[in-house]
A and B are shown apart, each in its own frame.
Chain A
Amino acid sequence: EAQVTQNPRYLITVTGKKLTVTCSQNMNHEYMSWYRQDPGLGLRQIYYSMNVEVTDKGDVPEGYKVSRKEKRNFPLILESPSPNQTSLYFCASSSQGGWTDTQYFGPGTRLTVL
């Protein structure tokens, strides 16, 4: 089954404790990205990647890091989480990132930073 998976689905942590949210897709997509969803703000892009070893900032990259060492994986790293990073996070992928492409979303990771 074609899908985007994320782990963990739920995470409660404390300020300053490094964490990684994993994202994996099995559709051989070149393009992957991370969004955060906050009430009243819709979804905002954090980082994106056009291919292996190619990443760039989205709208709200501060406090986040990403890496793309393999085509299928695109982990999101919070080196020193803060309470304002409490949010619902979605990973997405599409075949080549073209403007007509459908993006496929993971199930989401709900992060709470205390």
Chain B
Amino acid sequence: DAGVIQSPRHEVTEMGQEVTLRCKPISGHDYLFWYRQTMMRGLELLIYFNNNVPIDDSGMPEDRFSAKMPNASFSTLKIQPSEPRDSAVYFCASSFVAFEKLFFGSGTQLSVL
């Protein structure tokens, strides 16, 4: 398996624009997680899905953030409108069991100018 695949690797956008991050989990993994990493706050869980259903989105910072998982092999994290404080590295991870042996993708480095 190729592991968790995220795209794009880097995204530079202007404040107010819509940003869409994409993730393909490892085949057969039932759980998918979106994390955000910053120097100040470390790794923060934004939302996670089980069998394509959102289970806990309490980490989503604002209504500007939304996530979907239309099928078992694809998920998106959308920010609309984006703000400079959204600049961070966003990771997608997947696992067989909730919160055990999470496998992370390479991340998307987002810069909002």
Whether chain B is bound by chain A comes out as no
Tell me the B residues contacting A by CB distance below 8 Å.
Answer: none
